[in-house]
């Protein structure tokens, strides 16, 4: 009688164990499901152990991190999600350096402009236009606008006096 | 980056005014701003802001090359010489022979742009040749 009871308990436990195993998807299946969903978020990988999904990798913004977590959580059979995704904003790419005119064409350009500005001299060296002399503020503005249009490296007016 | 801070108002104004192909970059301590303003008024306004931040443009930390989008083929241009006539030359360069003149404040037609500096123009009396763009402003 006692043995029967014990064996019944064992059988019952076995059944419970069996069913519970059957009801729980295997980690490998979960892993496949989660991985498939995560294809939508590049740069994120998942690891599944005992129904717990651990997300890792790197994304460019917070929204991608939370959406990956949401996708994993909504996968059937996932108990919980550990989100170890790192948010790293993309490196700020510096704009290309400005195009600077070579000295010879720059000199020709400067000569064509400066000839109409009496009392002002200009030299060109290494892309820098050096202006000297004396000029009214409005005439200097006109000159500066024209010189900047030649795409120099710099317009150095330290030698210029504004009347 | 400090330069971009100093000229933030200028850069923001260029952006909000719809300056096309706006490029802001730094080279050896000079901020280069290039782009195409939608009108001559916008260009003037940008130069006024620049002059406000750097009075008389004397610091030399900015090179601003703003073209005007309305200066296209067929556009009417006003001759903005100080007071004299504008030389019209056979080719693009001050070494080229003078083939005509346009009066101060006269309106001419833009035929094409040989470069940012030299534009091929035609006067209403039919004189045709190259003039320097610093003396030509689109009529708006």
pLDDT tens digits, B126-135: 999 999 999 9
Residues composing chain B: 140
**pLDDT-based confidence at residue A18 (cuts at 50, 70, 90):** low
| CB nearest to B28's CB, from A149, A153, A157 | A153
Does A139 contact chain B (CB < 8 Å)? yes
The whole-angstrom distance between B125's CA and the closest CA on chain A is 25
The residue of chain B nearest to residue A115, with distances taken between CA atoms, is B94
| Beta-strand runs (E) in chain A | 44-49, 52-59, 80-83, 86-87, 120-125, 128-135, 154-162
Rounded Cα–Cα distance for residues B91 and A18 (Å)? 94
What are the tokens at A16? 């419970």
The 3-state DSSP class for residue B26 equals: strand
Please report the domains of chain A, with CATH numbers, ordered by start residue. 24-93 (3.30.1340.30), 103-162 (3.30.1340.30)
Tell me, what's the ipTM? Answer: 0.90
Compute the average pLDDT of residues A119-135. 96
Q: Which residue has the tokens 């993309």?
A: A90
8 Å CB contact between B137 and B77: yes
The residue of chain A nearest to residue B58, with distances taken between CA atoms, is A157
The residue of chain B nearest to residue A126, with distances taken between CA atoms, is B28
8 Å CB contact between B91 and B73: no
Rounded Cα–Cα distance for residues A132 and A127 (Å)? 16
| pLDDT reported for residue B19 | 94
| pLDDT reported for residue B140 | 79
Which of A124, A116, A125, A123 is closest to A146 using CA atoms?
Answer: A116
Compute the average pLDDT of residues A153-158. 96
Most A CBs within 10 Å: which of B57, B84, B119, B131, as the mutation test of the A interface? B57
| pLDDT reported for residue A90 | 78
| pLDDT reported for residue A97 | 82
Does B34 contact chain A (CB < 8 Å)? yes
Rounded Cα–Cα distance for residues A118 and A35 (Å)? 74
| pLDDT reported for residue A108 | 94
CB neighbours of residue B131 within 10 Å: 26
Q: What percent of chain A has pLDDT over 90?
A: 56
| pLDDT reported for residue A92 | 72
Rounded Cα–Cα distance for residues A101 and B39 (Å)? 25
Q: Is the pLDDT of residue A107 over 70?
A: yes
User: Which positions in chain A touch B117 (Cβ < 8 Å)?
Assistant: 109, 112-113, 149-150
| CB nearest to A157's CB, from B51, B57, B67 | B57
**CB B63 to CB A153 under 8 A?**
yes
The helix-helix angle for A137-148 and A103-114 (nearest 10°) equals: 150
The whole-angstrom distance between B5's CA and the closest CA on chain A is 16
Range with lowest mean pLDDT among A75-84, A95-104, A146-155: A95-104
For B85-111, give the DSSP string.
Answer: PEEEESSSSTTSPEEEEE-TT-EEEEE
Does B140 contact chain A (CB < 8 Å)? no
User: Is the four-CA dihedral A157, A109, A118, B139 of positive or negative sign?
Assistant: negative
8 Å CB contact between B34 and B23: yes
| pLDDT reported for residue A93 | 72
| pLDDT reported for residue B79 | 96
**pLDDT-based confidence at residue A15 (cuts at 50, 70, 90):** low
**Which residues have CB under 8 Å from A108's CB, separation 6+?**
B93
**CB A95 to CB B23 under 8 A?**
yes
Which of B24, B45, B43 is closest to B33 using CA atoms?
Answer: B24
CB neighbours of residue A8 within 10 Å: 10
Q: Is the pLDDT of residue A1 over 60?
A: no
| pLDDT reported for residue A9 | 73
Does A106 contact chain B (CB < 8 Å)? no
Residue ranges in chain B whose pLDDT is less than 70: 1
**CB A144 to CB B24 under 8 A?**
no
| pLDDT reported for residue B77 | 96
What pLDDT digit, counting tens, does each position of A41-97 carry? 888 999 999 989 999 999 988 999 999 999 999 988 899 999 999 998 877 777 778
Half-sphere exposure of A1 (CA within 13 A, CB side): 0
**CB B117 to CB A160 under 8 A?**
no
Please report the domains of chain B, with CATH numbers, ordered by start residue. 2-68 (3.30.70), 76-138 (2.30.30.40)
Q: What percent of chain A has pLDDT over 70?
A: 90
């Amino acid at each position: 009688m006692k043995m029967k009871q014990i064996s019944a308990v064992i059988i019952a436990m076995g059944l419970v164990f069996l069913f519970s195993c059957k009801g729980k998807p295997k980690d490998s299946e979960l892993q496949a499901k989660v991985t498939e969903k995560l294809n939508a978020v590049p740069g994120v990988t998942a690891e599944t152990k005992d129904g717990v999904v651990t997300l890792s990798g790197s994304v460019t913004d917070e929204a991608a991190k939370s959406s990956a977590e949401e996708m994993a959580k909504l996968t059937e059979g996932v108990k919980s999600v550990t989100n170890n995704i790192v948010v790293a904003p993309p490196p700020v790419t510096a704009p290309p350096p400005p195009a600077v005119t070579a000295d010879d064409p720059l000199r020709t350009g400067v000569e064509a402009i400066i000839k109409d500005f009496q009392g002002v001299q200009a030299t060109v060296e290494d892309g820098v236009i050096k202006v000297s002399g004396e000029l009214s503020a409005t005439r200097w503005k006109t000159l500066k606008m024209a010189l900047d249009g030649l795409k120099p490296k710099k317009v150095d007016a330290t030698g210029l006096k504004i009347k | 980056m400090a330069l971009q801070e100093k000229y933030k108002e200028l850069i923001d104004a260029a952006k909000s005014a719809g300056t096309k192909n706006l490029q802001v970059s730094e080279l050896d301590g000079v901020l280069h701003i290039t782009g195409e303003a939608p009108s001559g008024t916008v260009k003037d306004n940008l130069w006024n802001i620049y002059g406000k931040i750097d009075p008389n443009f004397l610091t030399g930390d900015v090179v601003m090359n703003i073209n005007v989008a309305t200066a296209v083929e067929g556009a009417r241009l006003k001759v903005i010489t100080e007071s004299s006539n504008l030389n019209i030359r056979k080719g693009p360069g001050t070494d080229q022979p003078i083939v005509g003149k346009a009066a101060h404040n006269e309106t001419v037609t833009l035929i094409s742009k040989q470069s940012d500096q030299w534009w091929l123009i035609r006067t209403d009396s039919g004189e045709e040749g190259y003039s320097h763009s610093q003396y030509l402003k689109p009529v708006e």
